[in-house]
Structure 1
């Protein structure tokens, strides 16, 4: 179920990145109306969504490189969010000096890191329902013979 929700979120982020960015700005900025997005910001959000969908839809056959990169990003966000927050702001916004962060940006960044780690975990494990169905199918095949 969680896998399907994250895939749906990834598809939404690929198709409509602006509402996702707007929501993140409302969550993290005291003055979101002053934020001036760089042109590549929408593509960065789309890339994140594509990565989620690709890793989660492929399950255990996902890319080890992409999994490892997302895992490293997730761990860094959980353990040491401030440098990543600053770096991402310079990538996304043209006027980082004008933006005021809300006090819960660090906890929100840590939650994002946990989300990344969840995507990595889910992408490396098979879906429980399909595993159960697969074992039932194998059992039926054995009993039929």
Structure 2
């Protein structure tokens, strides 16, 4: 079931990357109208969506690799949530210094990190039981 969900999320991300960025900004940034997203960021999001969709559809090692990477990324988010802001700002925006992050972002990033770690651990357990 998780693979189907991730596959659908990957397809959605592939089809509407700009909408994904809009949702991210609505949640994470207090002043999205004052910031300019890098022109290459939407294609990058689209590529991420394709990789996620292919991994979910194919399963096997590619999917296991994706889940392992997600777990590592989740651990970073969980234990170093401020690092996310330091990386996301320059990655997403042309002028990262002008970004005003939402005051609740740190807690949200920790929750997302915990979910990623949990999903990766559950998937790892499932793989080793079968």
Match of 2:29 in 1: 29
Distance 1:7 1:63, change over 3 A: closer
Separation in 1, partners of 2:7, 2:64: 18
- Is residue 56 from structure 1 mapped to residue 56 from structure 2 by the alignment? yes
Q: Which moved more, 1:16-25 or 1:35-44?
A: 35-44
Separation in 2, partners of 1:121, 1:59: 16
Confirm or deny: 8 A CA contact 1:38 1:92 kept in the other structure: yes
Match of 2:71 in 1: 71
> Structure 2: where are the runs of 5+ without partners?
none
Match of 1:83 in 2: 83
TM-score w.r.t. the length of structure 1 is 0.72
- Is residue 9 from structure 1 mapped to residue 44 from structure 2 by the alignment? no
Separation in 1, partners of 2:55, 2:123: 5
Separation in 2, partners of 1:101, 1:90: 13
Which protein has the larger Cα radius of gyration, Structure 1 or Structure 2? 1
The Cα of 1:118 is off from its aligned counterpart by 5.5
Confirm or deny: 8 A CA contact 1:10 1:50 kept in the other structure: yes
